[in-house]
Structure 1
Amino acid sequence: MAHAQARPILLGLIGSPIAHSASPAMHEAAAEAVGLRAHYQLIDVANADDTQLRGLLSALAPIGFSGVNVTFPYKERVLPFLDALSPGARAIGAVNTIVVRDGRLTGHNTDTTGFARALVQAFGPTPEGPVALIGAGGVGKAVAVALARFPGLEIRMVDADPAKAEAVAAALRGHAAVRVCRDIEEAVAGATGLVNGTPVGMLPDRGSPVPLSLLRPGMWVADAVYSPLWTPLLTAAKRIGARTMTGRELAIHQALDAFALFTGREAPAAAMERAFDRAVAPLAA
């Protein structure tokens, strides 16, 4: 075992901006807790074109990476450069986890499994709907697939690019009740739940994806953003008495699933939770 660990497992995150990511802390702490050593490298690449992205991904195996996570804005754009996709990643059309084995890159999506488990933890086994889902990009698509697992939920999607929302809705029809809305007001009107699947509200941005006047006390509101943990959207929702779920739960649950894919070991949840909280504490100050 000592020989196998002569050098640390090399992991990373591809995206931009990612300086505030808690992923290095979570994965390195999880590895230590199960007796492994890991180095998790932030690969902050802004505005990469397809040639740069292909080059970056083709270098992962030769450099010795066991896997990388992928975040905004590359969750969909990496697909053409992978050797294989898990059924879940193929269905979603977005990848947040790439496993490197024997020179081959396989894309997975742990945002879906992570969000579904986080939602149950926060709001119980039968979250109520209809649910307004803002964003049909990489995270939005994963959240839509996760919401489709709950029977009886109507998913109301809205995106700045209506064609993206239509494509997700088309893929889910027959599996869930999905409606593409013209605007945020239509999506939120009468909705019981609201999910932000966009980067709006992530530092340094201080905006809200939804006009705060549309929030109501009886709603539950979830945000995929965790830097800061309390986004303007969640702060306003909490202030009026709505139930809330920060991006902490999604971040931890998707990381637990990704760690298992990277290492073949079950990740220790307590170690990841402690590492996440330490990593984001300066942002909450």
Structure 2
Amino acid sequence: MKYAVIGHPIDHSLSPVMHNANFTALNYKANYEALNIPETDFHLIKEIIDEKSIAGFNVTIPHKERIIPFLDEIDEQSKTVGAVNTVKIKNGKWIGYNTDGIGYVTGLNQIYPDLKNASILILGAGGASKGIANELSKYVDYKLTVANRSKQRFKHWTLDINKISLEEAEADLASFDIIINTTPAGMNQNKDIVIDLERLDVRTLVSDIVYVPFKTPILKMAEAKGNPIYNGLDMFVYQGAESFKIWTNKMPDIKVMKDAVLKHL
């Protein structure tokens, strides 16, 4: 069997490292590769996937919304979020799923078991934010708060959340138990921090969905202030584990998957 991840650029992706380690551990005869597909070639996606006889694939930036018109079905999570990160091909049908929110919350719940009573601020209003907010809303009693530079991004949000600006979030920062950065600020060589942490309470858990670098600028700053921090490695591993279950109906070896990524990092 063949599986893949599609995106652009894609050479940084550790999905092949993670999935191939899992296949080996389970003696599952398959291989997983990264396919770089620029936006200009995306209209050929059906031909590219069919030609390679791929049975399922992951979708990463910038194609999570672009893939939807090519799908025959999408699950409820994908409909709510408006983005797909996993595609299963069954009897010629392309079926879309979104495992990002499940992946993040599965990991977060292990290090912060009292999610039910947490007051949570999510920074950014893109696809990842929406997926995480949708999944977190199943766990928490308090209304979630999402902050974005422009409130225009909330136009197509149907989730019942508090929608605020980054300036409003900064002013009320001390009231949150968990702060989650879903913006690209801090990725790769980017040194930006999306929000001023001056009013941060020392008890607040500060999280970033990025795992490369292992500590983004916002996590480094929070750690320097004495706050607990949590990066996006577990989200990456657990969303991959969910994808594997969708494709194969088998249970993955999550420890092997995580160890493979850590070793590579």
Q: State the TM-score, normalizing by the size of structure 1.
A: 0.85
Q: Which amino acid aligns with 1:179?
A: N
Shift of 1:83: 1.1
Q: What are the superposed Cα offsets for residues 184-207 of structure 1, whole Å, 9 maximum, x if unpaired?
A: 131241222211112221102222
Task: Give structure 2 stretches of 5+ with no counterpart.
Answer: none
Tell me the equivalent position of 1:37.
29
Unaligned runs of at least 5 residues, structure 1 = 1-8, 281-285
Write the deviation string for residues 135-163 of structure 1: whole angstroms up to 9, x where unpaired.
22121111111221123232211234423
In the aligned structure 2, how far is the partner of 1:130 from the partner of 1:166?
23
How many correspondences in the alignment?
A: 262
Matched residue, 2:162: 179
**The one of 51, 58, 62 aligned to 1:73:** 62
Question: What do residues 189-231 of structure 1 show as CA deviations (whole Å, max 9, x unaligned)?
Answer: 1222211112221102222222243433121111111111111
Partners of 2:256 and 2:21 in 1: CA distance: 6
Residues 198-213 of structure 1: pairs in structure 2 closer than 5 A: 198-213=183-198
Q: In structure 2, what is the Cα distance between the partners aligned to 1:213 and 1:165?
A: 26
Q: Distance in 2 between matches of 1:119 and 1:69?
A: 22
The residue number in structure 2 matching 1:194 is 179
Amino acid at match of 1:184: L
**What residue number does 1:91 align with?**
80
Q: Output the CA distance in 2 between the equivalents of 1:200 and 1:215.
A: 18
1:75 counterpart SS class:
coil
C-alpha contact 2:3 2:57 (8 A) present in aligned 1: yes
Task: Give the superposition deviation at 1:58.
Answer: 4.4
**CA offset digits 1:213-272 (Å, max 9, x no partner):** 343312111111111111111111112121221111111111110111122211011111
Work out the CA distance in 1 between the residues paired with 2:47 and 2:111.
Answer: 39
Asked if the contact 1:17–1:44 (Cα under 8 Å) also holds between the matched residues in 2, the reply is yes
CA distance in 2, matches of 1:161, 1:61: 40
CA deviations 1:11-45 (Å, max 9, x no partner) are 11122333222211110011111111332221233
Cα contact 2:149–2:166 (8 A) shared by 1: no
SS in 2 for 1:210: coil
Question: 2:99 corresponds to which residue?
Answer: 110
User: Which of 128, 144, 147 is residue 139 of structure 1 equivalent to?
Assistant: 128
* Contact 1:143–1:197, Cα closer than 8 Å, also in 2: no
- Cα RMSD over matched residues? 1.8
Aligned mates of 1:108, 1:39 — CA distance in 2: 21
Query: Match for 2:215 among 230, 243, 250?
Result: 230
Overall identity of the aligned pairs, in %: 28
Residue identity matched to 2:56: G
The 2-side partners of 1:27 and 1:247 are apart by 17
**Which whole-Å CA distance do the structure 2 matches of 1:216 and 1:79 have between them?**
41
Deviation at 1:71, TM superposition (A): 1.4
Q: Deviation at 1:112?
A: 1.6
